[in-house]
Structure 1
Amino acid sequence: MMAAIESFDNIYLDLSKENGKCRFAENGLGWKPAGGGDAFTLDQSNIANAHWSRAAKGYEVKILQRNSGITQLDGFQQEDYERLSKIFKNWYSTNLENKEHSLRGWNWGKTEFGKAELTFNVQNRPSFEVPYSEISNTNLAGRNEIAIEFALAEGDKTNGHNGAGKGKGKRALAGKDQLVEMRFYIPGTTTRKEAEGGEAGSDADEEAKNAVTLFYDTLIEKADIGETAGDTIATFLDVLHLTPRGRFDIDMYDASFRLRGKTYDYKLQYEHIKKFMVLPKPDDLHFMLCIGLDPPLRQGQTRYPFIVMQFKQDEEVTLDLNLSEEQLNGKYKDKLLGHYEQPLHQVVTYIFKGLANKKVTTPAKDFTTHRQQYGIKCSIKASEGFLYCLEKAFMFVPKPATYISYEQTQSVTFSRVGGAVSALSTFDITVLLKNGAGSSQFSNINREDLKALEDFFKLKGLRVKNEIDEDANLLAAAMRDEVMDSSEEEVVGPKADRGSADEDEESVDDDFRAESDSDVAEEYDSNHESDGSGSQESDVDNQVDDDDDDDDDEGGKEAKAPPKKKKKTV
């Protein structure tokens, strides 16, 4: 006779950090953490199958639920198998199937789509399984390659079980290290019937397709990654994105939005949106919408903490949201309208604001450039873009999108970097962060914006260092330019020793004189004529030019030089 309740200690539920007590009874099972907290229960009517296998902390009982969820109980001892086998057979009318995993370590095998998980088999034995509830997204990463992204841990909730297994990322809280992406190389062609392990398919399904494409389509369907078209609240087609670069269709749902491109496909939760900015571009033709994400969007090894979209300022759109009157008057009351007929960038902004419930940030009204615009043209290293002064932060877009809050800023330094000539019209800003967090430099800013920026930073209470002695530098540069342009002694006379500045000037003058030797010689002659040499010397010059057309410059110099020497010796 079996006891009314069978108990097991030191059992871990779904890779939980803390162990607990697991109890089995005729009407179902339950688990409660040893340190106290929310208990998990599973009714016997929801138990479809059960597997026994070696696992991380001992032996594991994996329960496949009828509603496509999976429950993992790890930490059993080998001698518990007989006892558990009787429990499942007598109380739940289910065989506890003993499954042995492949330990060969091969990285090639065959994938199998189950009801609740994706299994990778090596020689007909499972090497590992991936529950669909842990998959957040998938992308075709190459011609025959597919990337699977795993859900990230959200918060410190221990499990958040509801029996349905729909909570994405609940197993990701198990430890500090986390698997975030896996890639499969899938060559060749196949049919849906083969891909799903022999399930019947329609005639259309039997048509051979690229195996990687079929894998991608099946995984999206099984893992419930893509919502159906009927769930879409609004869709915007072919929207230009500056970061990450490309054109994407935007599908907006109740709790998430999707970016669909030719190569990459992203699904992002509204709760991951931390900032939303609308930035007018200085060309007065476009608006940029900048979305700050945490965790950032990933494309392979590249992380994108900001998405930057671009819209034409005068592009109008008429849109009716796919929402009922009940929803508009209930859940979305005072957040969304049923009908929009406005510029496209405004409509996208309003819908994002209503669905994500995030404040829209715009540039500070206290600052404009000398052209009465909000964006300052500048660059970070070799990347050109625009710097915006917001009410509480700097924002540089489009790439690399950089956000620096004023609170984290220790000081702002204005400086000139580079040669004297290039530094006349531009300057650099270096933003030093607090607590040794580094610095950011914005280069090649128009000098006419210096005063307005300095006044704005002081208004925001920022510590400003101005290393530009503007009046002295401009005066010195202007005087030097004037001397270079007007003094003939600078060209033909002895040169003053001006240090390293002379080297730069010399190279410029050499280039200029090499290209125009004949012009310099003619100026010299005209000066000589003005001293009273008469017109006979000009006739001699012309005669020499006619005699030697092939070597014009040299002949001219040789003819002109002797009279000058005679004049000096007389």
Structure 2
Amino acid sequence: MEAFERIYLDLSKQPGKCRLAEAGLGWKPSGGGDTFTLDTNNLGTAQWSRAARGYELKIMSRTSGVVQLDGFEQEDFDRVAKAFKLFYGINLETKEHALRGWNWGKGEFGKAELAFNVQNRPAFEIPYSEISNTNLAGKNEVAVEFSLPADGNETGTNGHLGGARSRGRKAGAAKDQLVEMRFYIPGTVTKKEKDEDGEEKSVDGDEVEEQNAASLFYDTLMDKAEIGEVAGDTFATFLDVLHLTPRQVLKRVLFYGRFDIDMYENSFRLRGKTYDYKIQYEHIKKFMLLPKPDDLHTLITIGLDPPLRQGQTRYPFLVMQFKREEEVIIELNMTEEMLEGKYKDKLMPRYEQPQHMVVAQVFRGLTGKRVVTPSKDFSSHHQQSGVKCSIKANEGHLFCLDKSFMFVPKPATYISFDTISVIVMSRVGGAISASRTFDITITTKNAGSEHQFSNINREEQKPLEEFFAAKNLKIRNEMLEDSSALIQAALNDADINSSEEEVVTARVDRGSADEDDESLDEDFQSDSDSDVAEEYDSAHESSGSDEEMADADGGKGSEDERAAEPKKKKAKTTK
């Protein structure tokens, strides 16, 4: 037996002890935890190469994919090579990586991993078990998404999800983590046919079919990484379901997309024209059934954590729309033993109901999540469970749930009552719009962030206030303050217009502003019907004496001359 200390298994956070014996390979973490073992019959090939923590031993197993052990010293190579030769009959191959830093090369699909080679040397390798999804991001571009750990304590070796090593759980959550990689693959390739044994066979020159290289890469990766399950494995399939979020992209234009939904035992898949998504049931955190106020549609909203990713865009919610009267007949592709065992009292073998009810019941049975519906404590002015409003320029509906608010479809916004600090009701806009609509601003306890819902019909004010009070939410109604301010302002305007002398006095008391001859009065109207006399108008009667006016002019000119000069200035101002 050969033993090695401070060895890391599959990028684990803590080291352990590795032992090589005739019966197989074993690794046990130093801090305690589940032991990982690999039988001799399960060992395939082995490679030795440089790695982040010194030297790495990579084993291609027959059933467990790629096993990585790093932390070896350079002088350990002879001991490891000798043990593999004597115990397992395997030659330890030395592999050198490409260090040029080039970002173009050749992608080669191996049995357990995808290798990116530069000048016949691997620049990096991606185990298929770490790939969660792939999409055709463009005509010549393929996006590859990587699996993420369930939480920060996940190390890949702590027995999570039924074993010392779990699929897609190699590295624990870190501050920075690679979540997506894109390959640009130009050109076309010749598509070769395969015989019954799966081997490629030659075809005549006239029958050669060319295929887009990116599409072939995508199809091969889907097959190797086992991302797209075969149709026989699906429990149920719902075709052509309208999704308001996420949206499809066609020729750089966003539009509401339709996806086919395939339901599997542990995940479901959305198949669209431009994007496919595979989502684990364990990532579903919320499931809501929301009747749309138009009396025609029902929305199913699914909250995801981690969010669905489409390039740089994240979608924490899926929003599906169904017609209420559209019924569907479906039989689940399950055995009687499975229905009576794992899914007893959760699923039925056959459904004949409106489509949104069937989808909700199947999701509930497979995921075990509770279906959340609008609160019975709220009913809008039109006896609906939601009110129409908008977030900035995006129109939608705000639904009042028992413990939260939910705005859909875009941007889908979820606000829990526990996080709300205060709700402010206010008027925004002119006199006409303010009398018909009002706004709601919800301030949360998290750093005082705000969510503003605008253009709510004034008829919904009373039902919303009653709901806020029933849920013990703190409210501040600024509309009452605005009404008092408007009344006071109207009274002040009436007092000002009632006295001509006060208006004149206010103009005289402007101070140095009257000395600026170059400034133009933008509010001035030459044909004004105002009863207030202008300061330099001939009809204006000054309260001062002639001597005071003479002193103001420096004792120069007669009264007629003094009256003429302002008229010229007035003409100049009008021009």
Query: 364-373 or 151-160, which moves further after superposition?
Result: 151-160
Hey, what's the Cα distance between the residues in 2 that align with 1:280 and 1:435? 30
CA 55–476 in structure 1, closer or farther in 2 if over 3 Å, else same: same
Q: 1:310 maps to what in 2?
A: 321
Q: Secondary structure of 1:182's partner?
A: strand
Amino acid aligned to 2:47: H
Hey, what's the Cα distance between the residues in 1 that align with 2:208 and 2:6? 49
Contact 1:276 1:359 in 2 (8 A): yes
Q: Secondary structure of 1:169's partner?
A: coil
Q: 1:382 maps to what in 2?
A: 393
Displacement of 1:168: 2.7
Q: How does 1:518-557 map to 2 (within 5 A)?
A: none
Hey, what's the Cα distance between the residues in 2 that align with 1:403 and 1:325? 39
Q: 2:184 maps to what in 1?
A: 185
Q: 1:227 maps to what in 2?
A: 229
Q: Does 1:436 align with 2:447?
A: yes
Q: 1:148 maps to what in 2?
A: 144
Amino acid aligned to 1:239: V
Q: How does 1:333-482 map to 2 (within 5 A)?
A: 333-469=344-480, 472=483
Query: 399-408 or 158-167, which moves further after superposition?
Result: 158-167
Q: Does 1:17 align with 2:13?
A: yes
TM-score, reference length from structure 1: 0.80
Q: 2:547 maps to what in 1?
A: none
Q: 2:253 maps to what in 1?
A: none
Which has the larger share of helix? Answer: 1
Amino acid aligned to 1:453: L
Displacement of 1:437: 4.2
CA 68–471 in structure 1, closer or farther in 2 if over 3 Å, else same: closer
Q: 2:156 maps to what in 1?
A: 159
Deviations 1:169-199 (A, max 9, x none): 222317432110000001111245699xxx9
Deviations 1:545-564 (A, max 9, x none): xxxxxxxxxxxxxxxxxxxx
Contact 1:16 1:174 in 2 (8 A): no
Contact 2:140 2:214 in 1 (8 A): yes
Hey, what's the Cα distance between the residues in 2 that align with 1:163 and 1:371? 52
Q: 2:36 maps to what in 1?
A: 40
Hey, what's the Cα distance between the residues in 1 that align with 2:162 and 2:415? 43
Contact 1:19 1:34 in 2 (8 A): yes
TM-score, reference length from structure 2: 0.79
Hey, what's the Cα distance between the residues in 2 that align with 1:187 and 1:208? 13
CA 60–472 in structure 1, closer or farther in 2 if over 3 Å, else same: closer
Hey, what's the Cα distance between the residues in 2 that align with 1:384 and 1:175? 37
Identity of aligned residues (%): 65
Amino acid aligned to 1:212: A
Q: 1:491 maps to what in 2?
A: none
CA 77–438 in structure 1, closer or farther in 2 if over 3 Å, else same: same
Which of 56, 59, 62 in structure 1 is aligned with 2:55?
Answer: 59
Q: 2:305 maps to what in 1?
A: 294
Where do 5+ consecutive residues of structure 2 fail to align? Answer: 248-256, 495-502, 507-521, 528-575
Q: Secondary structure of 1:104's partner?
A: coil
Q: Does 1:81 align with 2:74?
A: no
Displacement of 1:469: 1.7
Q: 1:568 maps to what in 2?
A: none
Q: Secondary structure of 2:57's partner?
A: strand
Displacement of 1:41: 1.1
Q: Does 1:213 align with 2:215?
A: yes
Hey, what's the Cα distance between the residues in 1 that align with 2:314 and 2:166? 24
Hey, what's the Cα distance between the residues in 2 that align with 1:262 and 1:437? 41
Contact 2:193 2:200 in 1 (8 A): no
Displacement of 1:356: 0.9
Hey, what's the Cα distance between the residues in 2 that align with 1:106 and 1:165? 36
Hey, what's the Cα distance between the residues in 2 that align with 1:88 and 1:472? 86
Deviations 1:444-468 (A, max 9, x none): 1011111111111011010111111
Hey, what's the Cα distance between the residues in 2 that align with 1:151 and 1:234? 25
Deviations 1:350-371 (A, max 9, x none): 1111111111111111111111
Query: 110-119 or 204-213, which moves further after superposition?
Result: 204-213
Contact 1:67 1:164 in 2 (8 A): no
Hey, what's the Cα distance between the residues in 2 that align with 1:79 and 1:93? 21
Deviations 1:48-78 (A, max 9, x none): 1000000000010100012251111101111
Which of 217, 238, 241 in structure 2 is aligned with 1:239?
Answer: 241
Hey, what's the Cα distance between the residues in 1 that align with 2:390 and 2:163? 50
Where do 5+ consecutive residues of structure 1 fail to align? Answer: 484-495, 500-506, 514-570
Contact 1:424 1:474 in 2 (8 A): no
Hey, what's the Cα distance between the residues in 1 that align with 2:143 and 2:184? 9
